[in-house]
């Protein structure tokens, strides 16, 4: 028996699907129905009977519970249910890893990984919690100084990163412009038909420096899902199988310590995660052909790319240009569906479906070298996670 402990090549994604994506508050269906629509779309894409699903994995305390989903879908037996603990959008890639582990070790045969989110029906992530009569914990140390919303908190870390390494606003702008550019070729994108140019970006209002309006992710309603099976079944489905080569999650030492006391303050939390990610995949950042990097805010993308080794921080201005980030001719096509900024903010799970489509060769903005396709999930929201998908040729 092999003593190697790895997920590399042990599981594959065989189906992807989404509900329609909506602007915040515009979904006509309840959040739970959106989850069902995405799951059924993924089943149709995989050519499977929904009754054959026997597991669910999600993240960030998704409200669509596995038991309720199993009943609604008529699942014969629920064998696996898993929630990646906390992490906000940081759990998206880890949830795929959890599903892969389940099918690899025989706990389940067919696991749906999904995220359903209707901010218009529940709380808005971009809105601060308000000021209750008494405030305890971390917020008691932040709220008196106005650090309430995610943008306000993350802006300070981003500004420190930019100061320490000489990163210019143009690097952040390039991330936004590339995402909006890609969305114009993607009919699923909420910002389809709404292009962005540099002048419009520059003229947009500050939300909190260094974030303009277009540096900030959308607030949306919708759902997305993928179907994960063991590698030995992967060829039995209609589409080209997309294998999981690695998944890693966690956080660095004291990252996100209360009251902004993280020792390495100007980071997004991926230093140790990235090392484990590439070790399991047996590849390096130079091998990745296309990247989907979670944009809660554009500065977090730059920081995440640095921490995954795509370029040193001092080279951010040179690397992060519009021309380098767009498909098909950029050095590293990034967020090729439009990402959280311009396709949909589905807590980053749309990045997973796009990464799979890239390996299949089905992206609306196809990268020429897509055998290795990577996802970075939820910078600055620990536990963070990343994953790498590969074609059969990469096994």
* Both structure tokens of 125: 């992530």
Which one of the listed residues 24, 192, 243, 345 is annotated catalytic? 345
Query: Rounded to 5 degrees, what are φ and ψ at 81?
Result: -145, 130
| Alpha-carbon torsion, ordered 326, 327, 330, 334, to 10 deg | 60
Alpha-carbon dihedral sign for residues 40, 41, 43, 47: positive
Look up 345 and say whether it is catalytic: yes
Closest CA to 301 of 147, 141, 179, 389: 179
Alpha-carbon dihedral sign for residues 35, 372, 5, 249: negative
Alpha-carbon dihedral sign for residues 60, 128, 384, 257: negative
Closest CA to 359 of 280, 293, 306, 292: 292
Look up 294 and say whether it is catalytic: yes
256, 269 contact by CB (below 8 A): yes
| Alpha-carbon torsion, ordered 331, 337, 338, 339, to 10 deg | -90
DSSP 318-351: HH--HHHHSTTTSSS-B-TT-HHHHT--STTHHH
Burial track 187-208 (b if 16+ CB lie within 10 A, e otherwise): ebbbbbeeebeeeebeebeebb
11 forms bridges with which residues in the sheet? 230
Closest CA to 244 of 349, 356, 90, 85: 356
Active site residues: 294, 345
């Amino acid at each position: 028996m092999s003593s190697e402990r790895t997920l590399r090549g042990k599981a594959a994604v065989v189906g992807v699907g989404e509900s329609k994506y909506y602007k915040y508050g515009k979904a006509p269906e309840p959040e739970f129905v959106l989850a069902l629509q995405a799951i059924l779309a993924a089943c149709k894409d995989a050519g499977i009977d929904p009754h054959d699903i026997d597991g669910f994995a999600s993240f960030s305390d998704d409200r669509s519970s596995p038991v309720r989903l199993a009943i609604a879908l008529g699942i014969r037996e629920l064998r696996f249910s898993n929630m990646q603990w906390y992490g906000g959008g940081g759990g998206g890639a880890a949830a795929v890893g959890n599903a892969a582990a389940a099918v690899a070790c025989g706990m389940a045969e067919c696991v749906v990984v999904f995220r359903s989110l209707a901010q218009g029906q529940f709380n808005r992530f971009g809105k601060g919690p308000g000021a209750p009569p008494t405030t305890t914990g971390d917020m008691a140390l932040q709220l008196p100084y106005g650090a309430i919303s995610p943008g306000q908190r993350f802006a300070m870390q981003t500004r420190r990163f930019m100061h320490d390494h000489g990163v210019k606003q143009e690097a952040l702008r390039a991330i936004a412009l590339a995402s909006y550019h890609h969305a114009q070729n993607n009919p699923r994108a909420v910002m389809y038909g709404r292009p962005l140019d540099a002048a419009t970006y520059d003229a947009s209002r500050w939300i909190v420096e260094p974030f303009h309006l277009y540096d900030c992710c959308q607030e949306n309603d919708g759902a997305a899902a993928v179907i994960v099976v063991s590698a030995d079944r992967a060829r039995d489905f209609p589409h080209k199988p997309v294998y999981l080569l690695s998944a890693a999650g966690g956080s660095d030492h004291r990252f996100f310590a209360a009251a902004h006391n993280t020792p390495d303050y100007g980071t997004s939390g991926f230093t140790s995660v990235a090392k484990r990610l590439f070790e399991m995949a047996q590849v390096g950042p130079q091998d990745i052909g296309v990247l989907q990097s979670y944009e809660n805010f554009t500065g977090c993308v730059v920081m995440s790319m640095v921490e995954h080794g795509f370029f040193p921080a001092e080279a951010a201005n040179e690397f992060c240009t519009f021309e380098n980030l767009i498909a098909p001719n950029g050095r590293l096509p990034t967020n090729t569906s439009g990402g959280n900024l311009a396709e949909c903010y589905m807590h980053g799970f749309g990045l997973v479906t796009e990464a799979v489509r890239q390996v299949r060769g089905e992206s609306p903005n196809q990268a020429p070298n897509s055998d290795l396709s990577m996802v970075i999930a939820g910078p600055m929201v620990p536990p963070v996670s990343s994953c790498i998908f590969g074609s059969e040729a990469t096994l």
